[in-house]
Structure 1
Amino acid sequence: MAGYHVPPLERLVDQFESLPGIGHKSAQRIAYHVLNMSREEAQRFAQTITDAHENIHYCSVCCNLTDSDLCPICRSDNRDKSIICVVEDPRDVFALERTNEFNATYHVLHGAISPLGGVGPDQLKIKELLKRVGDGAVKEVIMATNPTVEGEATAMYISRLLKPLGIRVTRLAYGIPVGGDLEYADEVTLSRAIEGRQEL
Structure 2
Amino acid sequence: MIGPEIDRLIQLLAKLPGLGPRSARRAALQLIKKRDTLMEPLADALAAAAASIRTCSVCGNIDSADPCHICRDGARDRSALCVVEEVGDLWALERTGAFRGQYHVLGGTLSALDGVGPDDLSIPGLLERASRPEVREVILALNATVGGQTTAHYLFDRLAGCDVQVSRLAHGVPVGGELDYLDDGTLTAALRARRVL
- Relative to the length of structure 2, the TM-score reads 0.92
Could you say which residue in structure 2 is the equivalent of 1:68?
Answer: 65
RMSD of equivalent CA atoms? 1.7
Match of 2:181 among 181, 184, 187: 184
Question: Could you tell me which residue of structure 1 aligns to residue 23 of structure 2?
Answer: 26
Q: Whole-Å Cα distance in 2 between the matches of residues 84 and 185 of structure 1?
A: 31
Q: Distance in 2 between matches of 1:83 and 1:163?
A: 16
How far the C-alpha of 1:72 sits from its partner, in A, is 1.6
| 3-state DSSP of counterpart to 1:154 | helix
Distance in 1 between the 2:10 and 2:55 partners?
30
Q: Measure how far apart 1:17 and its partner are.
A: 0.5
Q: Give aligned pairs, total.
A: 197
In structure 1, the partner of 2:100 is 103
Alignment CA distance shift 1:44-1:184 (3 Å): closer
CA contact (8 A) 2:136 2:165 kept: yes
Q: Is residue 53 of structure 1 aligned with residue 50 of structure 2?
A: yes
Report the counterpart of residue 131 of structure 1 in structure 2. 128
Gaps of 5+ in 2: none
Query: Match of 1:112, as an amino acid?
Result: T
Which of 6, 9, 17 is residue 6 of structure 2 equivalent to? Answer: 9
| Secondary structure of residue in 2 paired with 1:115 | coil
- Distance in 1 between the 2:9 and 2:90 partners? 31
Corresponding position: 1:171 with 2:168: yes
Give the TM-score normalised by structure 1.
0.91
- Quote the sequence identity (%): 43
Match of 1:162 among 159, 162, 174: 159
CA deviation after TM superposition for structure 1 residue 42, in Å? 3.7
Deviation per residue, 1:74-96 (Å, 9 max, x gap): 11121111110101111112211
Between the aligned partners of 2:5 and 2:66, the Cα distance in structure 1 is: 38
Deviation of the 1:8 alpha carbon? 2.2
Partner Cα distance (1:41, 1:19) in 2: 18
Q: Does 1:151 align with 2:142?
A: no
- Provide the secondary structure at the position in 2 that maps to 1:106: strand
Q: CA deviation at 1:98?
A: 2.0
Q: Distance in 2 between matches of 1:185 and 1:88?
A: 24
Q: CA deviation at 1:43?
A: 4.1
1:118 shift after superposition: 2.1
Q: SS of the counterpart of 2:30?
A: helix
Q: Which residue is equivalent to 2:109?
A: 112
**Runs of 4+ off more than 6 Å:** none
- What runs of 5+ residues in structure 1 fail to find an aligned partner? none
Where does residue 75 of structure 2 map in the other structure?
78
Counterpart in the other structure of 1:193 = 190
Checking the alignment, whether the CA contact within 8 Å between 2:131 and 2:163 is kept in structure 1 is no
Q: Could you tell me how far 1:40 is from its partner in structure 2?
A: 8.5
